[in-house]
Chain A
Amino acid sequence: MQTEALLRSPDIVVEPTLTVERLKAYYTTKAFGIDRDIRAVDDISLTVAKGEVYGVAGESSSGKTSLIKTIVGAIRPPLHVVGGTVRFNFGGQTYDIYDLKPDELQAIRWRHLSYIMQGSMNVLNPVRRIKHSFYDFAFPHMGLGRATFWDRVRDHLRKLDLDPGVLDSYPHQLSGGMRQRTTIALATVCTPEFIVADEPTTALDVIVQRDVLTMLRDIQRDLGSSFLFVTHDMSVHATVSDRVGIVYAGRLVEEADTPTLFRSARHPYTQHLVASLPKIGDTTRRASLSGRPPSLADPPPGCRFHPRCPLAMDVCSKEVPPLVSIAPRHRVACFAVTGAPS
């Protein structure tokens, strides 16, 4: 379709801008005096190339937001990193997120990395007009004169279908979708090298959503920025992501170029996700997965998908299937695909 051609970018340079290795992060909570770990990020490795849009998909509560927070270093108790590394490469310089001091991390966040959080209220100060948020966060980093700065901000807001008049409003005076776009504008007006966005378009109608995705894609293409993009909405991934990683219960279970993922997914969970998308014009009842989403506090042993998997074998409840390459740029964690260990 048209938007697809419009949005998909062709060439990707190979050197990774982000390298995540064996990352583990848990929420440790106390209940009745007993510590409990919620294993929200459990041994995830992935890379994002310069100029690439990497999409993360997965069901509600599978750990997508936890993964993102861990990657950008926005870690607050009870979340803590249990193992693994996160390295960014900006202009040949490597930054190991967990070795940085808080002020160094802060500096990188503004200079190179921008993070659009899920649920957009947080960054906008509720008792100040929107323009103050722009002035406080963006002005110091853009090296522009005031007049040029405000021109740039207004232009940027228009690209997101927002009337620049929102600058004079308070956050609560905007609709949900307007607030969401305002946060996106705030995070992208400085045209960062690496954009991390967690469910940035959930509150938007489909027309505005398309415009917002186009804007993000334009920034990404014009500057060769990388883009790590989380959403449970598979049709959004189909439109913007170059590559998609599927998270199930805190683990990466499949990863492939977007067309491959939609046409020839191999993991039974991915296959289900792709097959179950509702469409207009279709009122047949969709099959839903049997069983319930796993508890991350007490996940099923072995393959975490085994209690719901139509292909489950004996080994699946005993051993964890490793994420293996089955083709260039296509990794899968499933014994039915890669063969059971002997």
Chain B
Amino acid sequence: MSLLLDIDHVGKTFTQGGLLSRRSIEAVKDISLQIEAERPEILSVVGESGSGKSTLAAMVLGQQLPTRGRVLFDGVDVASIRSGADRRAFMAKVQPVLQNPFEAFNPLKRVDRYLFATAANFMAATGKPTRQEIEARVDRALVEVGLTLAEVRGRFPHELSGGQLQRTAIARALIPDPRLLVADEPVSMVDASLRMSIVNLFSSLRDRLGLSIIYITHDLATAYYISDRIIIMKKGEVVERGNAREVLDNPQHPYSIALKNAVLTPDFA
């Protein structure tokens, strides 16, 4: 069994505050978690605000270095990736999807420019691509998310709906053919119907492209709906983990139970 991602006893401590009020915060305490290379899956990460979910994601993406333990991607310690070329190769394989699609794109720049630049950048590793090759690559990524280049060409971010823009952001992440997407609250800004269309897209990316996805969310309903496994975090620790449906149908840890019970339901019957 080979591992795509091996989070091995990882911890991250930050210091905050002024000279007199300095305190250290253990954002992540000793978390271990593996994703197998041959078994693509959607892993949901839910839990308390401030429990370390984004910090964990940042360590997987190599944006933050762990203060303890290691993150291995394809057997390589992410912290050891230094040279520009290695870094680019790593970033091609592990792509982030941001929470707010409107922040991911500059409002004054046409959306397609980003996509072309991303494609040109990653294709440059294997020789200089032609304009047609770049466009074909961009179009292929857009088709994966249910859009086409024709629909997006020449448009500014505000000329696309929130859902189209979030799909475009996902398409951009797909351009370098990643193995893992790290999506930090990718649907919290969008309404229920777009939310469903984006999480459905995630399942189909897993099934068709064999992509694994780390899905950080506060929305237990969509986590239940699409994920294979789930971890529930509180204060830097994983308090419960397992098959998503089993855990959410029958949570064991007091925090998980409280979390499930606090979900607002629009029941007036």
Given contacts A239-B264, A288-B193, is CB(A205)–CB(B159) below 8 Å? no
Tell me the nearest residue of chain B to A177, going by C-beta.
B49
Evaluate contact between B225 and A178: CB separation under 8 angstroms. no
Q: How far is the CB of B117 from chain A (nearest CB, A)?
A: 21
Asked if A273 CB lies within 8 Å of chain B CBs, one says yes
Would you call B237 an interface residue if the criterion is a C-beta within 8 Å of the partner chain's C-beta atoms?
A: no
> Is A293 a contact of B221 with CB atoms below 8 Å?
no
Of the candidates B190, B194, B262, the one whose C-beta lies within 8 Å of that of A207 is B262
Interface size, chain B (Cβ < 8 Å): 54
Partner-contacting stretch, out of B13-21, B64-72, B125-133? B13-21
Check B47–A205 contact: CB distance below 8 A: yes
- Interface assignment of A108: CB less than 8 Å from any CB of chain B: no
CB-based contact B196/A206 at 8 Å: no
User: Which residues in chain B, 155-208, are within 8 Å of chain A measured between CB atoms?
Assistant: 158-159, 161-163, 185, 188-197, 200
* Residue in contact with A202 in the complex, picked from B189, B221, B222, CB distance below 8 Å: B189
Cα separation A277 to B266 with both chains bound (whole Å)? 8
A176 in contact with B259 (CB, 8 Å): no
> Given A168-B17, A202-B188, A280-B263, A207–B225 Cβ distance below 8 Å?
no
Question: Cβ of B16 and Cβ of A1 under 8 Å apart?
Answer: no
Given A165-B17, A176-B185, does the pair A235, B266 have CB atoms closer than 8 Å? yes
**What's the minimum C-beta distance from B220 to chain A, rounded to whole angstroms?**
5
Q: Which of B17, B162, B191, B263 contacts A206 (CB 8 A)?
A: B263
Contacts A60-B161, A276-B192, A277-B266 given: A175-B50 contact, CB under 8 Å?
yes
Decide yes or no: A283 and B224 within 8 Å by CB, A60-B162, A208-B48, A288-B197 being known contacts: yes
Given A175-B50, A207-B48, A280-B224; A234-B266 close (CB under 8 Å) = yes
Give the distance in Å from the alpha carbon of A3 to the alpha carbon of B265 in the complex: 10
Q: Which residues in window 18-68 of A have CB below 8 A to B?
A: 27, 29, 38, 58-61
Interface string of A197-224 (1 = CB under 8 A from B): 0010011111111100000000000000
Q: In the bound complex, do residue A165 and residue B224 qualify as a contact, i.e. CB atoms below 8 Å apart?
A: no
Indicate whether A138 reaches chain B with its CB closer than 8 angstroms: no
Nearest-neighbor residue (CB-CB) of A121 within chain B: B103
The answer for the CA separation of A119 and B17 in the assembled complex, in Å, is: 24
Q: Do A289 and B264 touch across chains, with their CB atoms under 8 A apart?
A: no
Pairs A–B under 8 Å by Cβ, sample size 22:
A1-B267, A3-B262, A59-B194, A161-B49, A165-B23, A175-B50, A176-B185, A177-B49, A202-B188, A203-B49, A204-B49, A205-B218, A206-B220, A206-B263, A207-B48, A232-B190, A232-B191, A233-B192, A235-B266, A237-B266, A280-B221, A289-B193
Mark B residues whose CB is within 8 Å of A: 14, 16-18, 21, 23, 46-50, 53-54, 99-100, 102-103, 158-159, 161-163, 185, 188-197, 200, 218, 220-222, 224-225, 245, 248-249, 258-260, 262-269
